[in-house]
């Protein structure tokens, strides 16, 4: 019996103290796990619910970067003009299922509308507002949960494949500079000094000053989750089938039981809109699919995450090999993985790092994305007992802890110490 099954057995009888608020956190990705942790620390009765194992979905297979520099949204001025060439390039970062896009045209149009310069600046500013609290919020957890062995302080490197891509990046440099995000530009020989095993295929590089990454995301999620259980948190490994408002409470219908809570937190990542719909809320949430391949490695080949601009993925040396993770595919929630995208990442990974050995495994995940690239964090407009925390797109791993802190404040009916108006559920 796994520890999760044991916990489930122990939590079958929810002997909840009714003098303390009972909160259910729906979704045990990094956002839900961090929220549950902070809520439990504050003394709430907290039940975390997920139909999968904690931390095993999108929060498992990402590119491992604590990307507190990543304030430049995917929507950028001029994106609309770049899309045709991006799609025509077989090894480009973006792929689209046109039938899916046609069915979801309003989302695509709304996404493109957010590419106007003023909007992009505003989005970048709002992302910076969250990102600058991301490290300190994780460090609060890491004082309590020892994850030292899974964190590396070798700064993340962005590799430009050509002079053109280097020059095209100028808009991102300006946005970063305007928001006080520090980077260092590197000439080719400086990159070579940092990462001598990379093939001679790049033009230049950029390092994100002070950035860090994990070498084992699942181990970090699991350690925070276990601390939550140690603190008295309850975990239920079941699907949420429905929810209803019942007087002052919310009733949750699981596979084989019905439970009542004072409040719920919806942190179900790319599936959050399905939960919101059950309560009469509706969000323009879609998802950007991304992939990873894990290559066998016995030797240390790279010291830090290396992003490859031509195809939009990172190479990261982690505990069990070298992971190549990234790219964007718009194709909905349910389509099976696209083999061509995996083949492309493999081809390009071997171009950048020819020493790579066999592919051991592959993975696809779903980044929850709103058309303005900002998350939804805040109370439901319809129901004061429902708090939303989803839509963290490309930087959900980075923003897990800070989101958890905000959720904790909102659950206490306190104002968070960060202005969260830009993430309001009522903005659509």
Ligand X SMILES: Cc1cc2nc3c(=O)[nH]c(=O)nc-3n(C[C@H](O)[C@H](O)[C@H](O)COP(=O)(O)OP(=O)(O)OC[C@H]3O[C@@H](n4cnc5c(N)ncnc54)[C@H](O)[C@@H]3O)c2cc1C
Q: How many residues bind ligand X (CB under 6 A)?
A: 40
Q: Does 387 bind ligand X (CB under 6 A)?
A: no
Report the nearest approach of ligand X to the CB of residue 19 (Å): 28
Report the nearest approach of ligand X to the CB of residue 251 (Å): 15
| Residue range at the interface with ligand X (CB under 6 A); choices 37-45, 106-114, 181-189, 396-404 | 396-404
Supply φ then ψ for residue 13, to 5 degrees: -95, 110
Report the nearest approach of ligand X to the CB of residue 67 (Å): 5
Report the nearest approach of ligand X to the CB of residue 289 (Å): 7
Classify burial at 334, counting beta carbons within 10 Å of its beta carbon; exposed 0-12, middle 13-18, buried 19 or more.
Answer: exposed
Residues numbered 61-100 forming contacts with ligand X, rule: CB under 6 A: 62-65, 67
Q: Does 212 bind ligand X (CB under 6 A)?
A: no
Nearer to ligand X among residue 77 and residue 359 (C-beta): 359
Q: Does 377 bind ligand X (CB under 6 A)?
A: no
Nearer to ligand X among residue 50 and residue 281 (C-beta): 50
Nearer to ligand X among residue 43 and residue 209 (C-beta): 209
Report the nearest approach of ligand X to the CB of residue 390 (Å): 5
Nearer to ligand X among residue 77 and residue 363 (C-beta): 363
Nearer to ligand X among residue 163 and residue 273 (C-beta): 273
Q: Are 235 and 27 in contact (CB under 8 A)?
A: no
- Binding test (CB under 6 A) with ligand X, winner from 130, 220, 268, 386: 268
The answer to whether the Cα torsion of 256, 261, 267, 272 is positive or negative is positive
Report the nearest approach of ligand X to the CB of residue 175 (Å): 18
Residues numbered 311-350 forming contacts with ligand X, rule: CB under 6 A: 325-326
Per-residue binding string, ligand X, 401-420, x by CB under 6 A, is: --------------------
Q: Does 58 bind ligand X (CB under 6 A)?
A: yes
Nearer to ligand X among residue 77 and residue 333 (C-beta): 333
Q: What is the DSSP string of 64-100?
A: -EE-TT--S-S--TTHHHHHHHHHH-TTSSEEE-HHH
| Residue range at the interface with ligand X (CB under 6 A); choices 91-99, 379-387, 392-400, 412-420 | 392-400
User: In degrees, to the nearest 5, what angle opens at C-alpha 145 toward C-alphas 59 and 58?
Assistant: 0
Q: Which is nearest to 125 in space by CA: 175, 79, 171?
A: 175
- Binding test (CB under 6 A) with ligand X, winner from 93, 205, 312, 365: 365
- Binding test (CB under 6 A) with ligand X, winner from 371, 396, 404, 425: 396
Q: For residue 299, give Cα distances in angstroms to 319, 320, 424.
A: 11, 11, 47
Q: Are 208 and 155 in contact (CB under 8 A)?
A: yes
Nearer to ligand X among residue 239 and residue 244 (C-beta): 239
**If DSSP codes are grouped into helix, strand and coil, which group holds residue 266?**
strand
DSSP 247: T
Q: Are 215 and 151 in contact (CB under 8 A)?
A: yes
Q: Does 267 bind ligand X (CB under 6 A)?
A: yes
Supply φ then ψ for residue 381, to 5 degrees: -70, -25
- Which tokens in the block code for residue 145? 């949960």
- Binding test (CB under 6 A) with ligand X, winner from 166, 208, 271, 283: 271
Please state, as a whole number, how many other Cβ atoms lie within 10 Å of the Cβ of residue 201: 15
Nearer to ligand X among residue 34 and residue 77 (C-beta): 34
Q: For residue 204, give Cα distances in angstroms to 115, 157, 187, 356.
A: 27, 10, 5, 22
Q: Does 240 bind ligand X (CB under 6 A)?
A: yes
Alpha carbon distance 413, 419 (integer Å): 15
Alpha carbon distance 371, 241 (integer Å): 27
3-class SS string, 273-320: HHHHHHCCCCCCCEEEEEEEEEECCCCCCCCCCEEECCCCEEEEEECC
Residues numbered 27-46 forming contacts with ligand X, rule: CB under 6 A: 27-32
Binding site for ligand X (CB under 6 A): 27-32, 49-52, 57-59, 62-65, 67, 239-240, 267-271, 290, 292, 325-326, 365, 367-368, 390, 392-398
């Amino acid at each position: 019996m796994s520890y999760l099954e044991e916990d489930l057995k122990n939590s079958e009888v929810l002997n909840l103290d009714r003098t303390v608020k009972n909160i259910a956190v729906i979704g045990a990705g990094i956002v839900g796990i961090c929220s549950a942790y902070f809520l439990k620390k504050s003394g709430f009765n907290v039940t975390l619910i997920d139909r999968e194992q904690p931390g095993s979905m999108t929060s498992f297979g990402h590119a491992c970067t604590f990307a507190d520099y990543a304030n430049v949204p995917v929507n950028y001025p001029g994106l609309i003009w770049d899309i045709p060439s991006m799609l025509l390039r077989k090894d480009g970062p973006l792929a689209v299922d046109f039938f899916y896009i046609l069915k979801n045209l309003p989302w695509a149009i709304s996404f493109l509308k957010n590419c106007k310069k003023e909007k992009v600046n505003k989005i970048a500013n709002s992302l910076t507002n969250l990102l600058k609290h991301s490290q300190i919020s994780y460090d609060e957890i890491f004082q309590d949960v020892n994850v030292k062995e899974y964190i590396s302080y070798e700064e993340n490197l962005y590799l430009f494949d050509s002079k053109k891509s280097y020059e095209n990046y100028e808009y991102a440099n300006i946005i970063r500079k305007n928001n006080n995000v520090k980077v260092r530009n590197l000439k080719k020989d400086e990159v070579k000094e940092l990462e001598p095993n990379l093939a001679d295929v790049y033009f230049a590089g950029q390092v994100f000053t002070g950035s860090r990454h994990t070498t084992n995301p699942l181990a970090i999620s699991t350690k925070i989750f276990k601390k939550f259980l140690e603190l008295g948190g309850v975990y239920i490994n079941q699907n949420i089938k429905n929810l209803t408002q019942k007087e002052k409470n919310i009733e949750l219908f699981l596979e084989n039981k019905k439970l009542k809570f004072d409040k719920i937190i919806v942190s179900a990542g790319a599936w959050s809109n399905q939960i919101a719909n059950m309560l009469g809320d509706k969000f323009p949430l879609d998802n950007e699919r991304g992939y990873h391949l894990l290559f066998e490695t016995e030797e240390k080949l790279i010291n830090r995450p290396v992003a490859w601009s031509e195809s939009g993925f990172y190479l990261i040396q982690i505990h069990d090999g070298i992971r190549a993770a990234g790219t964007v595919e718009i194709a909905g929630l349910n389509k099976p993985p696209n083999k061509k995208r995996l083949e492309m990442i493999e081809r390009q990974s071997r171009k950048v790092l020819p020493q790579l050995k066999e592919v051991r495994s592959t993975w696809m995940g779903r980044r929850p994305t709103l058309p303005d690239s900002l998350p939804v964090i805040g109370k439901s407009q319809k129901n004061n007992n429902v708090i939303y925390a989803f839509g963290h797109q490309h930087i959900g791993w980075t923003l897990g802890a800070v989101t958890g802190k905000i959720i904790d404040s909102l659950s206490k009916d306190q104002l968070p110490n960060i202005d969260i108006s830009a993430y309001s559920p009522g903005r659509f």
